[in-house]
Structure 1
Amino acid sequence: MDFPVIVTAIFGSFVIFGGVMGYVKAASKASLIAGSITGGLLLLSAVLIANGIVAGAILGLVVSLLLIGQFGPSLLKKFKVMPNLLVVILGIITVGTLAFSLFK
């Protein structure tokens, strides 16, 4: 299995899990919905990449950048490891991996 597929699938799974945890801990339906949608798109991206479809890498890049854009500013305001720091770090790793796979 390709490294970009694994990285993207791990990030997608983490985002879904984070959305569920946001719902369980804070009864946040927004966290559940946003986490499910973005995590699902990342998992779809991983499947597309595994099947050799370039649009999967582009989808993964766009979703990862959106997540970094959402969680990055709140990380700068309040330094919270969960979920802000983890989403930003995993997002950066995913973006780097996908960008490298697109341009190799």
Structure 2
Amino acid sequence: MDLPVIVTGIFGAFVIFGGVMGYVKASSKASLIAGGITGGLLLLSAFLIARNYAAGIILGIVVSLLLVGQFGPSLFKKFKVMPNLLVVILGVITVVTLAASFYQ
């Protein structure tokens, strides 16, 4: 498999899992819905990348940047490893991987 497909798929699965954990721990329906939608979009992105559609790369970059933009500022306000730091790190790795793939 292609590295961008693997990285995007892992990030998507992590985001879905994080949404479920937010719902289980804090009864946050917003976490469940947001995690399900953004994680689902990342998995769709991985699927499209595997089928050689450039739209998959663009979708993955946009969703990853949105997640980094959402979790980044809260990471600097109060440093929490879970979920803030992990989402930011995985988001940046995904963006870099997808951008490199796009320009190849």
Quickly name the TM-score band, shorter chain normalised: over 0.9
Equivalent pairs counted in the alignment come to 104
Unaligned runs of 5+ in 1: none
> What is the CA–CA distance in structure 1 between the aligned matches of 2:20 and 2:72, rounded to whole Å?
20
Deviation of 1:23 (Å)? 0.1
Deviation of 1:73 (Å)? 0.1
Q: What amino acid is aligned across from residue 80 of structure 2 in structure 1?
A: K
Aligned: 1:52 with 2:52: yes
Deviation of 1:29 (Å)? 0.1
Q: What amino acid is aligned across from residue 11 of structure 1 in structure 2?
A: F
Corresponding residue for residue 103 of structure 1: 103
Give TM-score scaled by structure 1 length: 1.00
Q: Which runs of 4+ in 1 moved over 4 A?
A: none
- Over the aligned positions, Cα root-mean-square deviation in angstroms equals 0.2
Deviation of 1:61 (Å)? 0.1
Corresponding residue for residue 85 of structure 2: 85
Corresponding residue for residue 25 of structure 1: 25
Deviation of 1:83 (Å)? 0.0
Aligned: 1:38 with 2:29: no
Identity of aligned residues (%): 81
> What is the CA–CA distance in structure 1 between the aligned matches of 2:78 and 2:71, rounded to whole Å?
10
Unaligned runs of 5+ in 2: none
Q: What amino acid is aligned across from residue 87 of structure 1 in structure 2?
A: V
Give TM-score scaled by structure 2 length: 1.00
Deviation of 1:19 (Å)? 0.1
Deviation of 1:66 (Å)? 0.1
> What is the CA–CA distance in structure 2 between the aligned matches of 1:48 and 1:4, rounded to whole Å?
11
